[in-house]
């Protein structure tokens, strides 16, 4: 036969288990929400870092171009200086002016 006390106790255990499961699911849901929020912040930070790195890379490229132009001008000045020195008579170049 069916013992009503036993079925009530079983029902109460089931309710307690269900309540415990709900609390666990709520904690898990909050944890997932917190992790998701933290992931969003990390992604935002990484995106910001990526944008800054891209800007730095562009700035470095501009500086590299500036340096290349300066080096080219220095080479041109060297060539002109050598050409001028070739045109000066040897006696003037050594300081023996006559």
Q: By C-alpha distance, which of 38, 60, 40, 42 is closest to 50?
A: 42
pLDDT tens digit sequence for 59-90? 999 999 999 999 999 999 999 999 998 888 77
Flag whether pLDDT at 98 surpasses 60: no
Can you tell me whether residue 53 is helix, strand or coil? helix
Considering the entire predicted model, what is its pTM? Answer: 0.51
pLDDT, tens digit, 9 for 90 and up, residues 14-38: 888 888 888 888 888 888 888 889 9
The pLDDT of residue 93 is: 58
d(CA 35, CA 43): 12
Determine the pLDDT at residue 72. Answer: 98
């Amino acid at each position: 036969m069916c013992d009503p006390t036993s079925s009530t106790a079983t029902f109460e255990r089931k309710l307690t288990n269900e309540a415990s499961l709900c609390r666990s699911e709520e904690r898990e849901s909050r944890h997932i929400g917190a992790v998701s929020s933290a992931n969003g912040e990390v992604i935002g930070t990484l995106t910001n870092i990526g944008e800054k790195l891209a800007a730095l890379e562009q700035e470095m490229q501009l500086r590299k171009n500036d340096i290349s132009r300066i080096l080219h001008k220095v080479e041109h000045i060297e060539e002109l200086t050598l050409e001028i020195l070739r045109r000066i008579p040897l006696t003037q170049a050594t300081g023996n002016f006559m």
